[in-house]
Structure 1
Amino acid sequence: MRIVKLNAIDSTNNYLKALGSTEFISDFTVVTAKNQTEGKGQRGSVWSSEASKNLMFSVFKDLSSMPLEHPFYISMITSLALLNTLKSFEIPKLSVKWPNDILSANKKICGVLIENVIKQNKINASIIGIGLNVNQTSFENLPRASSLKNIANKNFDMDEILKVILSNLKAYFLLLEAGKYESIKEEYEAQLFRKNKPSTFKNAEGLMFLGVIKSVSDTGYLQVLLEDDILKPFDLKEITLLY
């Protein structure tokens, strides 16, 4: 496995995309950075991180030989690999806030940004960007953010955590390659934050409404049971879970 370690970069996802345009990238090439100046999150948000305190990396996954009908399964297995890693480091009360934020209790400790490379109308590869708050302790203006150190009250070895994440990610990709879609989806849904609990959501127009998370579709839509007993699917641009 090739691991590229950088002191600073705008975005490890951007670095891998640029690298892929100039040379062949082997499967599971990893790029890590001590400082990421323009880290990206879901919905165009910025992933802000204190230099040298957190784990910021991207993984290149070759999908050219995998007939993947539903790309959201990449998001599911990435979330599960992260959850299982953090469980092994005894981080408590873990869950996935749809689609792939990792929470401990109700605090966000990890974000994921997946960018797929399309060739001839097919997913050829995936660049999986992960930002995990490890040893940072202060999160100014981010009341919902926390870190492994804040939760466990100790410092963590980031190289050790990276090694376990990559091992788990490889194991879950083997399950995906073996077509274990049902078991992957079942395990992912079991870890969903606020599943089967009345919750408040905000739609794209900014209006708030009540609903209950029931499941996700193969395409990644969140299935929410509304007050009138209608099960309605929402995509990422249409809904925000307030908590």
Structure 2
Amino acid sequence: MNSNSQLIKLFLVVAFSCTSLLVSLTPVLAKPIPNRSDVKTTLAQAITLNQPPIPPGPAPGGRVRGGAKRGPDGCPLTKLDLTALVPFTKEANSVINVWGQTTVEHPSWFFYVPYTKDLPYAVEFVLQEDPESKDSKEIYRTAIALPDKPGVIRVSLPTNTPALAVDKQYRWFFTINCDKEKNSPPTYVEGVIKRVNLSAATVKELETTEPRKRYAIYTQKGIWYEALTTLAELRQKNPQDAALQAEWRNLLGSIHLDDVAGEPIIPGTP
């Protein structure tokens, strides 16, 4: 066999070997390797609140964030302000409306609190009925203990207080008074909550589905308070669940509260 024939034979052997190797690797190479952004996209279900329109009548107004320091004895500046974890809209006239719906008689509110229990600040939560009336009746008032560290706390309406009535609006206030003598204005947030009924079909669906799906149903129906409460409870039961953390960030981001979305939920709050 001459040298040319040997070279041709060697070339054919090498080509066949390379082809076999590529064929054997094809199933492996065909599998896509997820990158970090793909994982995040999978974890965050992109569930956002279907915010209902503000009811007819006087605008609810409100305040979603507490202010900065006022006066020498006012609340000191912090990295993040006192923040109510509630939906709000900014109108063309710069008026902010803080308003959300619930379906339960005794709902829960969530607030980001930047101050801790080592500070001698007086904190209160107040709920009033008939927010449009000058003679609003106070139905609940309670002192709130500051947490061990800055974070999101939960305030629940006790079952021994009057139940929220369906199709009735209530105004709530969360106030921190940093001045013992109360000569300086407190920092506070406020808004309006309304209890509504869901359809019988939706109620049945909620009763027969798991919490993660209930959370999605509440957001779709525009029920902010139960959506947030359900997700908060899921996070506290599964603190290492990255998908729940992503959903929490996504939900708060959808109402423009991205800055507090990464703050911890303080366990054991009222």
TM-score tier after normalising by the smaller chain length? under 0.3
Greater Rg by CA = 2
TM-score, normalised relative to structure 1 = 0.26
- Where relative contact order (Cα < 8 A, 6+ residues apart) is larger, the structure is 2
Of Structure 1 and Structure 2, the greater strand share is in 1
